[in-house]
A and B are shown apart, each in its own frame.
Chain A
């Protein structure tokens, strides 16, 4: 199916799509040579490392993972149910529901509290308006997550998480 360009009546239709950026003269002609120089500079002879130098970073990495796991697990285990219950108390009967079976990740996603009830409906309306094949009743948490990542900056997501 041909994808339509809907810019005919929009201010965007008045702009030419010419590339406004330029490069120094002969940039692309010399790029390959400069890249080769850099590759040669990066290639160093392999040195034999003592075994402690190999195991040290592995042990450090394992300790970091363990630390991160506990830093995430303890607060999530203690606070996540409270945040979800607070959200439900504030937004009774207006939460976007999904019928995707066994989609418990959806609940975790809603804890971002990024949406008010009107935003929930706006997402569905937008996704339906742009003529894609998704229907509201098959909306999955992956699709919502994709939507959040695409349309909200990291700051907006973090700002709303704790509200």
Chain B
């Protein structure tokens, strides 16, 4: 019962976090189920040294990134050609409801390395605080600020060119 409440409480927020990483709805659904399965199997291992929200987000982030790397491997893409693979996924997405400007912005975001894209999405769209992101991504606030700074520059350059 408690697990059911946990799922209901966090499913949407985790879904959108994963969706921004893997882009496609069906893939997001798979990853989200995998996340909750992992939570189900490991809930007894949860230590209260981080919040439940941080723990869940961390699992979701790792599962989403693993999914993308796995998909790239199976598609025989080079490590840096993931943006092409995700770009075609974005363009073929049946559930994309944005306008042309939002499509261009999403394409700009897809030019970023996966982890940098993650940082940008968490800061720009989710408006998370750096210290929250640092807990989830297990990295320093300084590195996150630098990464976001670079991400914004790259996206602005892409938008200027397009």
Contacts and interface: CB of A to CB of B under 8 A. Distances in A.
Interface of A: 3, 6-7, 10-12, 14-15, 17-24, 27-28, 31-32, 34-36, 38-39, 42, 123, 126-127, 129-134, 142-143, 146-147, 149-156, 158
B125 A150 contact: no
A143 B95 contact: no
B52 interface: no
A27 B25 CA distance: 10
A12 B142 contact: no
B86 interface: no
B34 to A, nearest CB: 9
Q: Taking each of A17, A20, A133, which has the highest tally of chain B beta carbons within 10 Å of its own beta carbon?
A: A20
Contacts of B98: 18, 20-21
B97 A146 contact: no
B160 interface: yes
Given A3-B129, A19-B125, A32-B8, A130 B146 contact: yes
Nearest to A7: B152
B115 A155 contact: no
Nearest to A39: B40
A45 B155 CA distance: 52
Contacts of B11: 28, 31-32
B144 interface: yes
Nearest to B155: A12
B79 A150 contact: no
Contact of A38 (B37, B119, B143, B150): B37
B103 interface: yes
A17 B125 contact: yes
Given A10-B152, A129-B149, 20 more contacts: A3-B130, A6-B152, A11-B159, A15-B101, A18-B98, A19-B125, A24-B95, A32-B11, A39-B40, A126-B149, A126-B150, A133-B142, A143-B142, A147-B143, A151-B116, A151-B147, A154-B80, A155-B79, A155-B80, A156-B80
A28 B12 contact: yes
A133 B95 CA distance: 42
Nearest to A139: B142
B21 to A, nearest CB: 12
A121 B161 CA distance: 27
Interface string B61-88: 0000000000000000011100000000
B142 A134 contact: yes
